[in-house]
Amino acid sequence: MGRIRVLDKAVSNMIAAGEVVERPASVVKELLENAMDAGAKHIVVEIKAGGISYIRVADDGYGMSREDAETCLVRHATSKIFTAEDLEGIETLGFRGEALASIAAVSRLEIYTRAQGEDLGTHLSADCGEEVELSDAGCPVGTTVIVRDLFCSTPARMKFLKKDFTEAGYIADILNRLALSHPDISFKFINNGKEALFTSGDGDLSACVYAVYGKEMKEAMRPVSFCEDEVAVSGLVASGLMARPNRNMQNFFINGRYVKSAMLAHAVEEAYKNEIMVGKFPACVLSLSVNPKMVDINVHPTKLEVKFADEKQMYHCVYWAVKNALTQETRIPEVQTPPKTSVFPAVVEKPKVAEPIRVEAKPAPKIPEETKPEMKPMKKPSFSMREPTAGVWPIPELIPPELPKTEEKIAEPITNEEAEIILFEEKKETVQPERESEETKDEAPVYQICGQVFDTYIIVEKDGEMLLVDQHAAHERLRYEELLSQYRNRSIVSQTMLIPAVVNLSAQEMATYREYRETLDALGFETEEFGKQSVAIRMTPEELAERDLGELLLEILTMIANSRKNISEDLVSRMLYSIACKGAIKANHRLHEEEMKALLDAVFSLSGINTCPHGRPITISFTKTFIEKQFKRIV
Ligand code: ADP
Ligand code: MG
């Protein structure tokens, strides 16, 4: 007897379910897409226990007749396409006819449905792929699908699921995106009995952004409207000032379908170039209308990825749509280009696909004065910093905390004769042992402060050398060392905020927050949930300014999420780097002599350390011989 057998229907459906139904959020996505395809105007989603025990999706779409209800659970049964040619111009969200069959194979499924014009509805139930039972039901026009005990027949899949609130976070994320894709449909999301999202369905995208991301993001949004040939781009893009530490708030919809596309993300980010710091990402809600024949959505079982017939054209349209929207932006701060000798890499680069005639370069608008009140720390920080004078915008840190850059970017602009520059670290290693005799150990280091250049570097004469100390790198390192030792002793010193700072989060970030609030506590924060998708920060580690808190919290949550939620020693270090970086004196801050002295005393007591937590040097030194050679006093 041959060894090959055709699998029975139940097993093959289960295999297919593995592809389509990865987690509760995939079920919700499929059911929502069905409701949207059925022309629903109102959709309610209710879940319990992260969707694992219960999912209900109710719509007021056109419903199913008895005949349709009888076949809807059969694999590859669909009302959306009939021929292979239909595959080339799909206008519905679903078309594979797999979702209901797959869901039915791995859960206890119930459907109530009534088609328009029919008096009686149908009730349908299917337990883990077993025979389907049908009966008459009195129900409104539309469809309600109830999914209970997901993965009851595939316990292996259960093991891969995360905690309930993380799964609920994924579901909220899908709902948020679909609500943004269709402002003309009203979405309601109820999680464990609590309403978590509501959009009215009045067609106002801006109101949807408010419902999903909050007021601040809504107000930062600029309209996008662009049309060329067969491509139309519309939606909203956020001001560069609202850039995020991850791409969670980037939304792309192709003909109403939510898709992930690195190419489209790149086009948007390219349009923001010079307006957003490296390592930060713009938020956007962009809808592309294209001829369905120009895009292939049949490349991925969950239909999240698409292929374009002409990628270049899409890139071009999205780039210019966003660029044009941004040139109308009035709140862009004038970001100063780093001086030639700067240690930072230049970020000015021409867009690749640009035809500059389309955008009129406007003179940079005047910088608004900071209006946000500063947080008043209860305890005075050890280094007080003066705020920049109105109208002077600090040069942003171009090196993102998570992406340590290597030294080559740092050392190069100082001189061609790099060999002559002796790093403080090397020097210390050779000099220190002899100098640190018992008597001299406690003595304050002897040095002379010569001044500050570019409001960023302190010039010091010490031990016959001229030192340049990077004030930000130095302070960041000191803060990091301090925080690390406090963390190890479980005693991070916190300051209470007079007015709590409220930070808006995405659904996924909120889920990470709920799961890892204690990690934040250990880092010196005191936080609590504030509304559906916001967190109020009541206490923070010392020396942080209110304006940095939102960004910092997002950075930390992103790091936790990216590390697959494994709180390793390395992750703790990186989170402490971020706190240190935010709390440290910035470049472009004029310091008083006492501030310089306090900083330098602390720096010179850091034995054997001459880099900031990101690996950039704190101090570079010039020997007298080197300087004399430059002036040709000696050869
Ligand atoms: P697909 O959406 O790819 O066609 P599904 O398995 O998701 O496949 O659904 C099978 C069919 O069941 C659909 O083609 C549609 O005719 C019907 N159907 C499913 N959900 C609904 C709904 N909410 N309202 C009306 N019809 C539905
Ligand atoms: Mg479907």
Q: What is the mean pLDDT of residues 347-366?
A: 33
pLDDT in tens, 149-192: 998 777 666 666 777 888 999 999 999 999 999 999 999 999 99
Long-range contacts of 272-277 (CB under 8 A, 24+ apart): 272/240, 272/243, 272/322, 272/326, 273/347, 273/349, 273/351, 274/335, 274/347, 274/348, 275/240, 275/326, 275/332, 275/335, 276/240, 276/243, 277/243, 277/396, 277/397, 277/398, 277/400
Average per-residue pLDDT for the chain: 78
Atom number of ligand 1 nearest to Cα 97: 8
Among 81-95, 259-273, 324-338, the range of highest mean pLDDT: 259-273
pLDDT at 434 over 60: no
CA gyration radius for the chain?
30
Q: Is the pTM of this model over 0.85?
A: no
Task: Extract the runs of DSSP E, i.e. beta strands, from 349-441.
Answer: 422-423
Side chain identity, residue 582: K
C-alpha 373 to ligand 1 mean position (Å): 53
pLDDT in tens, 201-243: 999 999 999 999 998 899 999 999 998 888 999 999 999 888 8
C-alpha 26 to ligand 1 mean position (Å): 15
pLDDT given at position 344: 26
Confidence of residue 327 (pLDDT cuts 50, 70, 90): confident
pLDDT at 420 over 80: no
Atom number of ligand 1 nearest to Cα 72: 12
Residue nearest to atom 12 of ligand 1 (CA): 72
Q: What is the mean pLDDT of residues 322-334?
A: 62
Atom number of ligand 1 nearest to Cα 78: 14
Query: In this predicted structure, which of 88-102, 251-265, 468-482, 491-505 has the lowest mean pLDDT?
Result: 88-102
pLDDT given at position 220: 92
Task: Output 317 or 410, whichever has higher pLDDT.
Answer: 317
Atom number of ligand 1 nearest to Cα 77: 10
Q: Which ligand places an atom closest to the C-alpha of 109?
A: 1
pLDDT in tens, 532-544: 889 999 999 988 8
Task: Tokens for 279, please give them.
Answer: 């390592």
Task: Output 158 or 52, whichever has higher pLDDT.
Answer: 52
pLDDT given at position 13: 66
Residue nearest to atom 16 of ligand 1 (CA): 79
C-alpha 235 to ligand 1 mean position (Å): 28
d(CA 483, CA 487): 6
Residue nearest to atom 8 of ligand 1 (CA): 97
pLDDT at 618 over 60: yes
Q: What element of type H or E holds 496?
A: strand 494-504
C-alpha 193 to ligand 1 mean position (Å): 27
pLDDT given at position 305: 79
Q: Which ligand places an atom closest to the C-alpha of 90?
A: 1
Pocket of ligand 1 (CB under 6 A): 30, 34-35, 38, 59, 61, 63-64, 68, 72, 77-80, 94-101, 143
Q: Could you give the domains of the chain?
A: 9-82+93-202 (3.30.565.10), 220-327 (3.30.230.10), 379-387+445-635 (3.30.1540.20)
Task: Output 257 or 350, whichever has higher pLDDT.
Answer: 257
Task: Tokens for 98, please give them.
Answer: 């797999």
d(CA 104, CA 125): 9
| Ligand 1 pocket test, candidate residues 100, 107, 109, most atoms within 8 A of CB | 100
| Ligand 1 pocket test, candidate residues 34, 67, 139, most atoms within 8 A of CB | 34
C-alpha 366 to ligand 2 mean position (Å): 51
In this structure, how many other beta carbons lie within 10 angstroms of the beta carbon of residue 405? Answer: 17
pLDDT given at position 302: 65
Query: In this predicted structure, which of 252-256, 377-381, 552-556 has the lowest mean pLDDT?
Result: 377-381
C-alpha 72 to ligand 2 mean position (Å): 10
Residue 408, Cβ density class (10 Å: 0-12 exposed, 13-18 middle, ≥19 buried): exposed
Upper half-sphere CA count for residue 72 (Cβ side, 13 Å): 29
C-alpha 78 to ligand 1 mean position (Å): 6
Residue 602, Cβ density class (10 Å: 0-12 exposed, 13-18 middle, ≥19 buried): middle
**Pairing relation of β-strands 295-296 and 307-308?**
antiparallel
